[in-house]
Amino acid sequence: MQDERRIIERVIEKLKASKDTLVSTIQELELENEMAALDLAKVSQIKEKKLVQHDINKLNNKTLRETVNREADQVYGLENRKY
């Protein structure tokens, strides 16, 4: 009986050690997951800012192009009137 008891106690100690190792691994993975989620959120914010900036630049280009075309038409009109 005592031998069986010692064997069972050893098995319990091994299982406790294994549990502690697994708990530690789980905590490390959870921390890594949280850090990855934060990095993803930062990257998403940067991406959104870049997309907004891109759209603003496109609108500015469109406005400038329209202004240049309008001024060019005016110059052509004045040149035609001159001839």
Query: Whole-angstrom Cα distance, residue 22 to residue 25?
Result: 5
Q: Which amino acid is at 15?
A: L
Could you tell me how far CA 3 lies from the centroid of its own chain? 58
Confidence of residue 1 (pLDDT cuts 50, 70, 90): confident
Q: Report the C-alpha gap between 32 and 48 in whole angstroms.
A: 24
Q: What is the pTM of this model?
A: 0.62
83: pLDDT confidence band, cut at 50, 70 and 90?
Answer: confident
46-81 tens-digit pLDDT: 999 999 999 999 999 999 999 999 999 999 999 998
Euclidean distance between CA atoms 75 and 43, whole angstroms: 47
CA distance 22 to 54: 47
